Amino acid sequence: MSRIAVLPPDVQAQIAAGEVIERPASVVKELVENALDAGARSIDVRLSGGGLERIAVRDDGEGMTAADALLAFARHATSKLARAEELAGVTTLGFRGEALPSIAAVARVRVTTRRAGEPGANVVEADAGGARAAGVAGAPPGTSVEVEGLFGATPARRKFLRTPATELAHVVDALTRLAAASPAVGFGLEHDGRQVLALPPVRDERQRLGQLLGRERAGSLVAVEVDRGGLGLRAFLAPPRETVGSARLVWTYVGLGGAYRWTRDRLLLRAVLDGYESLLMHGRYPVAVLFLRFPPGEADVNVHPAKLEVRFRQPAVVHQLVVPALRARLAVALRPEPAAAPEGVRPASYDDGPRDGAGLALEDGAASPAPLALWSAAPGGFASLRFIGQIFEGYLVCEGDGRVVLIDQHAAHERVAFERLREEHARGAVARDPLLVPETIELPAAHAAALAERGEVLAAAGLEGEPFGEGTFLLRTVPRLLRGRDAGTVVRAVARELAEEGASAAAERAADAALATLACHSVVRVGERLDPAEVRALLAAMDRVDVAAHCPHGRPVAVTLERGQVEALFKR
């Protein structure tokens, strides 16, 4: 008897579905991509129980006829591609005809769809057993897809899913990435009846990034626009002082002339980091959003089951386009006098090919700043140093052990405060004071969502409160460390940091991010004067914590100059 058997169709379908549909966020991604491909101007996503119970996506796109709605559930049935050659220049987000059958293989699906001009909507129901017409209904033009009981019949997959809060976080991530590339489309996300994201349509990507990243941060983004004969780059870069602890705010999109597709491509990430180069501290990542447009055939989007990766025909050319463009733009942006910065760099032709690294030569002033001399903690301890004075109202000059030590007073205080908070936090004892009148704090929707999802992290850091309507947080306690500081600013900063960490980040990481932000706001600012007693207290406190030369936000705390280095300056 043969030991090999072809799997029954339902098992085949489940295996194929597993490639595309991994969790609720994959369902949302596929359905929203379909809505975008259908020309929707407004897309509304509603979830229950992190999407595990129910996901509903409604759009006002072109809709489907009754026959198409049924055929859409057949594997490899698509309206977006007819011949193999078209794959090279596919301009829609979908093209494989796999999403709807994959979803139906692992959940119960109900599609209600109406084309403009038709009197009513057609309803189709589908599950692992197949798809069937389920009559007509009243509905506005467009399509709505409801998905229930995801992975109900595949307990193995369901076991790998996390809590509803984590699944919701993945959905927010997925929707955010899609929304960034489609500013003219309005998006809404509701979870268990609560509004999580509300993104009305806007004019351009910068405005959309304002909705997603907060207006303040979006305002500081510098734009890059390069066109090399068919290969185009449009990027928004945060200045290098704005960094985060992971690469999750480096968003790279690839398009072949139509819709831009978010991709997690290592080559592109590498190019972005190379573009920022020495402007970033080790382990810190920038905030950067890149849209790359390729001529047909230059990028293959058909290499990954969920189409999250791409392959480039000439990777070196991509690198050589991105790196110098970013460097030149950042160098201009960093010039002390904010000269009217040119919106882009000198264009060159795509056909210059990979040999031509100089095709986009660095503009003047693009040289990276000289590296810091040396920075490390003083070996004899900070308390043993002789304090000489404060300069530039923010730096302490000390001497001892045959070296000069410059200390950034803000960074040092921040590190000390951070370690103290962390220690209190570990004991579950962050000192806090109740607010007599709770403070109402307005936030961008995504940040408010991050706060809501991370309520326990926030409370443990001494910021107790709760969401209060859309984009608002009601704060009831403040950490004692923040006495006298503006709590609203701090909560907004923590919310931003949490949103950036991603609610999918481990709780410990999120707590660290919150504590680092609190520490940063609790301490002396550059510009504040310190008297010698305060300096001595600070130096002593620095010895008690592992300063490791870094403040929690990644900047150095102390810079030392050896005697030999000073002498070398004078050619001795």
The DSSP 8-state label assigned to residue 272 in this structure reads H
Closest residue to ligand ADP, judged by C-beta, is 94
In the complex, minimum distance from the CB of residue 301 to Mg ion, in angstroms, rounded to a whole number = 13
In the complex, minimum distance from the CB of residue 99 to Mg ion, in angstroms, rounded to a whole number = 4
In the complex, minimum distance from the CB of residue 95 to Mg ion, in angstroms, rounded to a whole number = 8
Look up residue 120 and give its two tokens.
Answer: 């009513």
Each residue 36-65 as x (binds ligand ADP by CB under 6 A) or -, in order, gives -xx--------------------x-xxxx-
| Residue 34 contacts Mg ion per CB under 5 A | yes
What is the amino acid identity at position 447? H
| Residue 517 contacts Mg ion per CB under 5 A | no
Residue with tokens 């406190």: 541
| Residue 101 contacts Mg ion per CB under 5 A | no
Q: Would you call 37 helix, strand, or coil by DSSP? A: helix
| Residue 79 contacts ligand ADP per CB under 6 A | yes
Buried b (16+ CB within 10 A) or exposed e, 433-472: eeeeebeebebbbbbbbbbbbbbebbbbbbbbbebeeebe
In the complex, minimum distance from the CB of residue 63 to ligand ADP, in angstroms, rounded to a whole number = 6
| Residue 516 contacts ligand ADP per CB under 6 A | no
Helix H, strand E, coil C: the string for 417-430 is: HHHHHHHHHHCCCC
Q: Which part of the chain contacts ligand ADP (CB under 6 A), choosing from 89-97, 327-335, 433-441, 509-517?
A: 89-97
Of 34, 176, 211, 390, the one binding ligand ADP by CB under 6 A: 34
Long-range interactions of 368-375: CB distance < 8 A, separation 24+: 368/277, 368/278, 368/279, 369/278, 369/279, 371/278, 372/556, 372/559, 373/559, 373/560, 373/561, 373/565, 374/559, 374/560, 374/561, 374/562, 374/565, 375/549, 375/556, 375/557, 375/558, 375/559, 375/560
Q: Of Mg ion, ligand ADP, none, which one sits near residue 143, judging by CB under 5 to 8 A according to partner kind?
A: ligand ADP
365: burial class by Cβ within 10 Å (0-12, 13-18, 19+)? exposed
In the complex, minimum distance from the CB of residue 100 to ligand ADP, in angstroms, rounded to a whole number = 4
Count of other CB atoms within 10 angstroms of residue 426: 11
Contact present, 485 and 491 (Cβ < 8 Å): no
Q: What is the spatial distance between Cα 464 and Cα 41, in angstroms, rounded to a whole number?
A: 38
| End-to-end Cα separation, the chain, in angstroms | 90
Of 25, 27, 35, 323, the one binding ligand ADP by CB under 6 A: 35
Q: What angle do CA 297, 226, 306 make, to 5 degrees?
A: 45
The interface with Mg ion within residues 389-418 (CB under 5 A) comprises: none
136: burial class by Cβ within 10 Å (0-12, 13-18, 19+)? middle
Q: Of ligand ADP, Mg ion, none, which one sits near residue 320, judging by CB under 5 to 8 A according to partner kind?
A: none
| Residue 166 contacts ligand ADP per CB under 6 A | no
Each residue 327-346 as x (binds ligand ADP by CB under 6 A) or -, in order, gives --------------------
| Residue 94 contacts Mg ion per CB under 5 A | yes
Q: Which part of the chain contacts Mg ion (CB under 5 A), choosing from 90-98, 156-164, 317-325, 434-442?
A: 90-98
Of 25, 45, 56, 99, the one binding ligand ADP by CB under 6 A: 99
Closest residue to Mg ion, judged by C-beta, is 94
Q: Which part of the chain contacts Mg ion (CB under 5 A), choosing from 5-13, 14-22, 89-97, 499-507?
A: 89-97
In the complex, minimum distance from the CB of residue 72 to ligand ADP, in angstroms, rounded to a whole number = 3
* Site for Mg ion, rule CB under 5 A: 34, 94, 99
